Amino acid sequence: MADLSPSAGQALAINIRNRNVLVSAAAGSGKTYVLVQRVMSMLKDIDSKINIDNLLIVTFTNKAAAEMRERIGKAISEAIREEGLRQEKDERLMAHLQKQLILLNKSFITTIDSFCSMVVKRNFHMADLDPDFRTVTAEETAQLKKEVMEELLEKKYSEGNEEFIALSDYFSPQYSDEKLEDCIYSLYDISCSQPYPYKWLDDCRRMYSDTDKGIYSDVWGQLLKDEVLKKLSQAKAVYETALGLYIKSGGVHKALERVLIHAENSDKVIIDTLIDKCENSINDDFIEYISEIKFARSAADKNSTVPREIVEAINALRAIFKNIIGKIYSDRDPNASLLPYNEAMANLIEQAHAPVMTELIDTT
């Protein structure tokens, strides 16, 4: 990519100096190219006296580090070749770039963990560590985690704590701790990906500590609201497709117009009301409305000028529309219902789960 001309934004990222720079760009947009060119622009500035081993270039993986080192090497070689073809060569620049090729093998183009390991090894006496320490392999890490898990569960079972026994029964009812272990591992891994793992776990614990507020308040209400709004958006998209088919047909079908638009319980009124109530709050008022919905019934229209196949397509879309809304709340089939029967039942569910989830967080 050495022959490409950078865009205005890329040129800014390449040439800006003496400040922190954050470049955010999509995959395949040329971030690696920009970084290589930024490095080359520094190396070509002889007066700055910057060498490649003065720079720390960090990547996420060893493969990416090797690729970056290779690209920078090729860019340096290309710069030397181009300078050598000039009628008036800059001998100082040529010598400087040739020096960079020699220094490239000892440059800090590496992963963050490899760089940190190198720093610690060079300063082991300050960290009070054995200079021969090494980073554990993935297999060794897995084995250590397994051993710690076994010791942890054995200790917990021996203590006979009621909350832990409830946790074990909840996740591992079939005389196997596999599911419980998976939950602990998962929660541990997620916490380790946070900037402050212990604070994140404390925040999780607090979500379960005040169940008196009710499941429709705070974080739980927001999670439910987001999920319900997602379903309602799907239902509205289906409704708008049905309405669009009717309008594009150019015909008239009074019964369809009534159920789609004009009736007090038309599909339009129902979906608009549900979205409005949901955006305000999911509570007993929302559940009462959705539980009492009576969809308007369509009928044949002898004077219809809408093609029969369009009418059938609209009716099929209305069936999908009703099904989506029906799965948000169902007092006939609670297992298929996204929402509990009412706010009181929702609160009971949360209060029953809270001790179990709190114990899971504490165990992790």
Q: Where are the beta strands (DSSP E) in the chain?
A: 56-59, 108-111
Residue 348: the pLDDT is: 44
Taking alpha carbons only, the member of 25, 6, 100 closest to residue 55 is 100
Q: Give a yes or no: residue 133 inside a domain.
A: no
pLDDT of residue 83: 86
Domain check: are 168 and 258 in the same one? no
Is 105 a domain residue?
yes
Q: Residue 75, Cα to own-chain centre: how many angstroms?
A: 35
* Pair 97, 84 in one domain: yes
Q: What are 109's strand-pairing partners? A: 57
Same domain? For 223 and 187 the reply is no
Predicted confidence at residue 210, as pLDDT, reads 57
- With 70 as the cut, is the pLDDT of residue 213 above it? no
Token reading at 74 = 């090729």
Same domain, yes or no: 251 and 310: yes
Domain limits at 264? 218-339
Q: What is the pLDDT of residues 2-24, one digit of tens each?
A: 456 888 888 888 888 888 888 88
Mean pLDDT of 31-53: 90
Percent of the chain at pLDDT exceeding 70: 87
- Pair (309, 329) in one structural domain: yes
pLDDT of residue 52: 94
Domain boundary among 92, 108, 127: 127
* Radius of gyration of the CA atoms of the chain, in A: 32
Question: Of 213, 245, 279, at which residue does a domain stop?
Answer: 213
Residues 112 and 29 in one domain: yes
Q: What is the pLDDT of residue 192?
A: 87
Is pLDDT at 218 greater than 60 in this prediction? no
Q: 67 in helix, strand or coil?
A: helix
Domain annotation covers residue 268: yes
Overall domain count for the chain: 3
222, part of any domain = yes
Q: Residues 89, 18: one domain?
A: yes
Residues 168-183 pLDDT 10s:
887 777 778 888 888 8
The closest of 239, 248, 237 to 315, measured between CA atoms, is: 239
Q: Please give the torsion angle defined by the CA atoms of residues 97, 99, 100 and 106, in that order, rounded to the nearest 10 degrees.
A: 170
Q: How confident is the model at residue 353 (pLDDT cuts 50, 70, 90)?
A: low
Phi/psi of residue 109, nearest 5 degrees: -110, 100
Q: Give residue-wise pLDDT tens across range 254-269.
A: 999 999 999 999 999 9
Q: Are 122 and 13 part of one and the same domain? A: yes
The amino acid that residue 16 corresponds to is: I
Asked if residue 311 belongs to a domain, the reply is yes
Per-residue pLDDT, 70: 94
- pLDDT attached to residue 344: 45
- Please say which residue of 185, 213, 241 terminates a domain: 213
Average pLDDT of the segment spanning 213-231: 71
DSSP label at residue 107 = S
Which of the residue ranges 231-240, 274-283, 334-343 would you say has the lowest mean pLDDT?
334-343
pLDDT digits (tens, 9 = 90+) for 57-100: 998 888 989 999 999 999 999 999 998 888 888 888 999 999 99
CA distances from 282 to 302, 334, 361 (A): 42, 17, 27
Residue with tokens 């397994």: 146
Say if residue 331's pLDDT is above 90.
no
> Band of the pLDDT at 330, cuts 50, 70, 90?
low
Both 285 and 255 in one domain: the answer is yes
147/243 same-domain check: no
Structural domain includes residue 353: no
Q: How confident is the model at residue 355 (pLDDT cuts 50, 70, 90)?
A: low
Give the bridge partners for 58, in sequence order: 110
Cα torsion at 176, 181, 183, 184 (round to 10°)?
A: 150
Examine residue 132 and state whether it is found in any structural domain, yes or no. no
Q: Does the residue 74 lie in any domain? A: yes
The whole-number pLDDT of residue 10 equals 86
Average pLDDT of every residue of the chain: 84
Long-range CB contacts for residues 331-340, cutoff 8 Å, separation at least 24: 331/291, 338/224, 338/227, 338/228, 338/231, 339/224, 339/228, 339/282, 339/287, 339/290, 340/215
pLDDT per residue as tens digits for the range 292-311 = 899 999 888 888 999 999 99
